[in-house]
Structure 1
Amino acid sequence: MTPAQIIQAIEGMEPAMQRAYLEQVKTVVGAATVAEVERLIADEDEDGLVALLSLGALSVFLELARSVFIAGARFEVKAISIPRDLGRFEFDARQPAAEQWVSAKAEEIRANATIDVRAAVREVMGRRRRAVVWPAAQQVQVSATPMVRTPRQSALDLLGRVSAQTGSRSGGVIGLPGNYAQYVLNARAQLLGGNPDEMRKYLQRKRRDRRFDGIVNRAIKAGTPVAQADVDKIAGRYADRLMKTYAEMLSKAEALESFGAGRDQVYEQLIAQGLDRDSVTKTWRDRGDKKVRHTHSVMGGQEVQKDQPFQSPAGALLRYPGDTSLGAGWSERANCRCSAIYKIRRK
């Protein structure tokens, strides 16, 4: 078993998780009515909006995460040589420790999704209270009245707008984490504000759809804001691209952790069957290319006992790549392609 084989196995399961997440977001925003969201925004009812737009059980996504956990365990069982004196071994996903890990992970994912929804709601509601004031040089060309997002516009910012091609909503910020929702709303403000310097900043956004750059460049040249209808299309496409990016990152992180947890649980069950706990070690392996984050490159080759965590130079502790149980954050998890290689020392 090599690090490349481990990551290849994980990557094969990520696309289904990505689709499940995006489909759940689509279901939630499709079920919400603009009128109800608009009313809650007008009432400034943050809790009501969070309850209405919660991503819910995420049942398909979480079932896939469980499947990845089991796949990781099965992968490890096939990859290692189990000492003969332990007798026959078969991984049991119904063991309390295994079920507890899966259950705790499900609750964590749901809780984080709710935090993200609340952050997106707060961003949209906060923007509605702020006025976009046109630059002094443009006061002759546009209304001097500050431009405020109406409850309906804010509702559409949250949910997205119905596509004439698909008949479904897209371009909303529900399903994005707070910082990504902020990116979308900042992009919208840059385009609507009419400030050439701010519009040029929009043109530096990596995830933008470059097919709309001509519209933005013409507005910059004319010294006018981008038309509202065009902003809706441009910001909506930008939001969709960020949504796809986030779904990919989330699926990679959760699949990596679930697969690693399943592999780790194999040794817990072997130990329960008689394997000496002190005989199991693990070594951190990175992919050895330019994409590896600096902290994980430094960790490459770090060997510890099974029950000891790996330690990042940044101070984070991880039982295996992607692990969150000891507090490692997104900076140590996002797009990680590292792996832990376990070894049973022979007597």
Structure 2
Amino acid sequence: MKAYIDNSLEIASNKRKRIVTAPPINKTGSESRLQIISRRTFEAAVYKLSRSFEVVTPPTTPSDQVGSSLEVISRKAFEATVSKCPKTVKSPDGSIWIRCHSLGEGAHGFVYLAKLNNDVDTNGLPPKMVIKCSPITFSSSLSDEERILKSLSSPYVILCYGSRITMTKPPANGSDYNLILEYCSGGSIADFLKFRGKPMVESDVQLLSTKILKGITYIHSKKIIHCDIKPGNILLTPQPNSCMPNCFEPKIADFGLALRKSSVEYGDGSGHKRGTLLYMSPEVLREGFLDYAADIWSFGCIVLEMLTGKKPWSEFRVLDRKKLEDVIAHSSFKPSIPSTLSADAQDFLHKCLDINPFTRFDSTALLNHKFLSTTVHDVVVKEE
């Protein structure tokens, strides 16, 4: 196996060589290269309402944003984009919400953005919300997700506003189960990295990682394993008074695969091969052994992706899915950690991506790691 992998790496290297240069040390907030974009503009980019945007010179910004490498999308370009997007689908009289546009399709149904129908009693729902919709006969996963989310209350976890049953069109087709979730207009970290097109500076990664890790720590304190931590499931929502760069706070979302350790379904923790391949830990792929450490491995992959701008295991791009799965589960390899990163960042990643789940650092220990410890202190002071 090792000889095969080494040969594959050599082929990949000869085919296309990439040099990852170290990002400059971010000494002050004014030197941050984090892209700063408006809520409505980024929303348009994230949900692909148009294939191209007009890029203009950044306007004068507040002093704390000076030096940003942001590409600013003009108001004119945004309005032109919006005029091309599909019209809002009107719901029948009496419906609580009106469908706007689709946000995607998952394994258990459709996801779309909705706004309130002001002609009916909205029962305290927000003006905009995300609806996960599935035929009621296949809604067990959404029902489980709702049950878990309703047991959580954290600024680092997406909000759940409950669920509604609606009739399909025509009514003879049955009913839909609708899970009502918080709308995070900044999209996901996966969207942001794709939109940015390059690595993030370490200081920005430290801030985002601290918030995400606090969310994971909270989830684990409730004896819940997320099972699918990845950039696409870390959403960004604007918070005007936040100390975060661009005031985007990360929130953990999509608990469709989550398990509570005390549940009958979890059992003894074995036989649970679930998650997204590139972010799955070796023990989960190898034997379906699931514990909190699996989430920590996935979190480490997110941090690595933010620091490098590349997906984990990208050095194995010549391998097909089955062979890559064998590498992750049955070799001593871990995702490549560039030597160009700071010593603290490298050590932090090694602690997250320890092959042995029993010696892998837990979330509390990672929050006290030198890579994040200063950041944690600064964030607490600012929030107070």
TM-score, length of structure 1 as denominator length: 0.26
Q: Which has the higher strand share?
A: 2
Q: Which has the higher helix share?
A: 1
